[in-house]
Structure 1
């Protein structure tokens, strides 16, 4: 691979002359043309490490290997870590041969990270700005912008020969925008889409493109609704295995890839997430057909802020549990420091939140769980508890359906009675199970 000594500015040459190529006792961040951040660790036995080693090696080409898809535009910085993942130094790289030598000589118990952003030239001579390990891995394996776009489109489109549906769901994030948490995109092979939210479907398009040498995702939904305007966006995107982050001005949006088989299930069967199936609506609509419930109770937490109304979380219907739960979480997240200072809501609260525990719940790698609506909870009682399935106790169980500012719809599983429970019940008096659609 060629070396690209171009665009080495006077400042960079000055840094390089002072610090050279040796590891420094006091590592410095950000040695690219613009200030960057070091990415996640790249371990020596990883696929990305091996690809980098082959990409920078003269030996690969001398022995008739495949020409790499990218050529690095130097300088760039590497940070090296010891076996305990503690940084031991930064090295400034000015050529492929230097990069290759470092990769070759790194100890098996060491790892490294790269300072992003970096620039590479693809095989079609276009420049590609790389901002993460995931983007670097994509660039190393796809030689042109068209290849990268085709790769990204291939990830999001469902294969025609398999009984699978691929969705990109809006995933919960502590720092990103959760406005449309519980929504999911169903992407078609022709780049059309349906966005499912609160039991409604919105049609539109979705495609990747390059803007200013950066990979962007363009989404456009039909209509003039507030939701359609929100999702009519063009934003820089980072792909990372099963996750995608759309970079927006205010807050980023995190999407997570979710695929579901269309195999038949019966009530009482084990679901894809190792839960227990308790509902089948007979056909797929709005991105799901079945509901499964987790096999263990959630933590003993408060339902939420007492004496505060969350009117958007008063839905009873089957299919509204995820939307209810999202609205509960969003409401409390918008309070100033509720979790550390619950007095901003009410002096009686302790800052715990059952709905947040539900959306953070994970079982068998699936993380799209939530609290059931009242009607969904009733199905759990009728279809599982009465058949002695699911290891439920003779307790009161929470739904996500608010009654008023102080009370929530619950069911006493011992009697089957619909009950009204304070958002702050007596300790250990009310239990909860997370559920998910598929």
Structure 2
């Protein structure tokens, strides 16, 4: 399967049919694109620029002229197209029963620099379908990985109701974290298509019950810029965007010290502004805080991390930040964060 991440399409004027026994200017119905056909709607999607229809990996080179045919496959007129907005408006207003024509072959360039030739309507539809899948995945991932936002879980259906008000965080590199009942669990998050359906593969580690509940190939029922609904056939959840300025994060990534080492240096204090909002404490001047490698040390207040330019010992690694009342020294709350060394 060819990877059509970006296709530049040149549309040429198609006026004459090649068959000698047909009237001059009469179109072959198998070679035109009828209004509201599946291919017509895909081309309309490629020309559109709103969130629901935007398709950025195919670009039309303007200006070009389209031939318009009537119900009898006779030439009805011509239309010069100068921009995406003109093309989108034209496609949206063309009457039922009309058709348009494109000239083949259409020459395109794959993202690896190799030429790719589209010879007919079927191949054009296949190219746009593949491009649409990749564009949908890219759009979905870009929405999920906004640096100032995490995703609040809302339970819709199924037995596992306890995850309501928990959070997912997803990074640009496909790392994921689940924040559940004041614990954090790291893993991965991969989106892909199966038979024209967008799927989400979640894999979390650190707790068998968490793994049993979340490690599935989830079907993405719907998504937009503010929410995503997923189901595994047993449970259905809505993930709702929750943004906080300047940030709210519990998953932190740094480049490996050496390639393949799985080790990185994490400047723990530099993350403060992003993990402090999880405490619910209104003012950081009210507390002191310290970092711990284990939950047990954090509860006991023993063996705090001294070097806050911290090198992880496992990958990913969860550490705990304990917050104590600045006046009494009594513990108030703790926050777990996930440290992940990545290849850069």
| TM-score interval, smaller chain | 0.3 to 0.5
Tell me the TM-score normalized by structure 1: 0.32
Identify, as 1 or 2, the structure richer in strand: 2
Tell me the TM-score normalized by structure 2: 0.40
Q: Which has the higher contact order (CA 8 A, sep 6+)?
A: 2
Greater CA radius of gyration, 1 or 2? 2
